[in-house]
Amino acid sequence: MSDPESAILTALSAEEGSTIADTYAFAASHNFDHNQVVGVSKSLEGDAYVTLKELSTQFFVLQKEANDISTNGSQEVRVLNALVKAGDAGLSIPALQQEVGKDISKIGMGNCLKNKWAKKDKASGNLIAIVSEAKDDVREQLAALQAANGDPKALDDKAVQALKRRKLISLVTRKSYTVSRGPDYKPKRVKKAADLTKEMLDSGSYKTTTFKEYNFQTLGESVGGGYLHPLLKVRAEFRKILMQMGFEEMPTSKWVESSFWNFDSLFQPQSHPARDAHDTFFIKEPAATVSVPEDYYERVKTMHESGGSGSIGYRYDFKREEAFKNLLRTHTTAISSQMLYKLANQEGGFQPARYFSIDRVFRNETMDATHLCEFHQVEGLVADYDLSLGDLIGTIETFFKKIGITKLRFKPAFNPYTEPSMEIFGYHPDLKKWTEIGNSGMFRPEMLAPMGLPENVRVIAWGLSLERPTMIKYRIDNIRNLFGHKVDLAMTRNAPICRFEGGEEEEKQQQ
């Protein structure tokens, strides 16, 4: 015959109220697969050609043993027949097993004794028939059920329970549908158009075309595109916090620096071990910078060689080719230095300023679970008249409080460019321990004086890595899972937005 779709529509075409009572029977009579009929019916329902009503039909199916009983009789009748045939002496159990088989004899014997069709002879132990024949109820019940297509109503409840107990039948529930005409029924399906085409517009056929309705429930196509890396999410949050604190972002968008800005301007002696190729990546091509501000260069050179502003300097021969060597910046403090130089020499003279940056730096490190050759530094500085160590501690406390670290400790440290210098330790509430989270200090006069900053201008500054708070925030324990070529892209795609609410948390606790 035809396909299920036209068969269904044809079946409903006879008159207004025609229905297909049960898709299951319909499929069977048309030789269709029922699942296919259901699929087509649902698709027709989607276009309102038909309305469906779910049917749930329960019926019994015969188990394997029941089929055997239907053809050969119940076990008890077969045992009885064997016993009747054996006559008055009856049969021993092995002989009975021989006759009807082990399984049949076991079940049949039990039922014969229970039905009082047979008895056990005490003297011989043989089974002897008491009746000469019996009606095979079980076989008849199964036959009746089969004739009624498993309809549970074909048998009384007691019989059903007995057959179920013997595991001869089991109940099956089948889902099917009653199909009737829907509001938009037509005897032939017209596929709705999904798109308006140029041809439709040209010919005007769009006026009579039926279009698919919009499906506002459907999920949109997933949008590909970029995702912010966790480091960038934390950077966005830090940037917001620092801007709220009145800090202005420094232009750090270059990775190659001269040794002059990276080290010399920071009063880091040219013999300092950090200036060794073991610690710093020097650039081969171009190996040297083109120029530095010459008058400032001279003042820096003098400060290194013989001091000034109360310092005796380092007392060595300051080398120009050492200062001009290009490198991958080892810290963003190279930019802080340039910004302070600009601040001292800008038109109108020095003005107080707050600067920050969050950008990449490079160090020739042995790589392990927490170290890579490149990382990102968060750096902040405040330049103003008569600042004190108290201002530095206060600024640092405000910043860290905003990123959720409320308990801080400071440990005296050494940096060539700061005095005093303090390492910053934070108590991590998750890890329940104190960890080093940053470095800080007040820039030395040997650094500030050659720039030309007024004498009582102090600069407080601090720096930390972006990686450490990011790893803590995103519970990443190996830096190689955060940054580099082995990073799982799905991690980037799925990383949640970063929010730091530590400060508010503490305020709540205090209330």
**Which residues bind to ligand PHE, rule: CB under 6 A?**
331, 333, 379, 415, 418, 439-441, 461-463
In the chain, the amino acid numbered 44 is: L
Would you call 440 helix, strand, or coil by DSSP? strand
Q: Is 379 or 467 the residue whose CB approaches ligand PHE more closely?
A: 379
Residue with smallest beta-carbon separation from ligand PHE:
463
Q: Is 292 or 461 the residue whose CB approaches ligand PHE more closely?
A: 461
Q: How far is the CB of 233 from ligand PHE (least distance, A)?
A: 23
Q: Is 316 or 414 the residue whose CB approaches ligand PHE more closely?
A: 414
Q: Is 279 or 477 the residue whose CB approaches ligand PHE more closely?
A: 279
Give the chain's length: 511
Alpha helices by DSSP H, listed for 204-358, are 230-244, 259-262, 294-306, 320-324, 333-345
Q: How far is the CB of 418 from ligand PHE (least distance, A)?
A: 5
Alpha helices by DSSP H, listed for 115-207, are 137-147, 157-165, 198-203
The Cβ-side half-sphere exposure at 272, using a 13 Å CA radius, reads: 21
Please check whether residue 400 is in contact with residue 411, taking contact to mean a CB–CB distance below 8 angstroms: no
Closest CA to 363 of 390, 327, 392, 391: 327
Q: Is 32 or 462 the residue whose CB approaches ligand PHE more closely?
A: 462
Q: How far is the CB of 328 from ligand PHE (least distance, A)?
A: 14
Provide the phi-psi class of 441: left if phi over 0, else alpha when psi is between -120 and 50, else beta: left
Q: Is 26 or 355 the residue whose CB approaches ligand PHE more closely?
A: 355
Q: How far is the CB of 442 from ligand PHE (least distance, A)?
A: 8
H or E segment to which residue 172 belongs: strand 169-181
Would you call 489 helix, strand, or coil by DSSP? helix
Q: How far is the CB of 392 from ligand PHE (least distance, A)?
A: 9
Q: How far is the CB of 469 from ligand PHE (least distance, A)?
A: 15
Q: Is 292 or 381 the residue whose CB approaches ligand PHE more closely?
A: 381
Q: How far is the CB of 470 from ligand PHE (least distance, A)?
A: 17
Burial environment of residue 125 by CB neighbours within 10 A (0 to 12, 13 to 18, 19 or more):
exposed
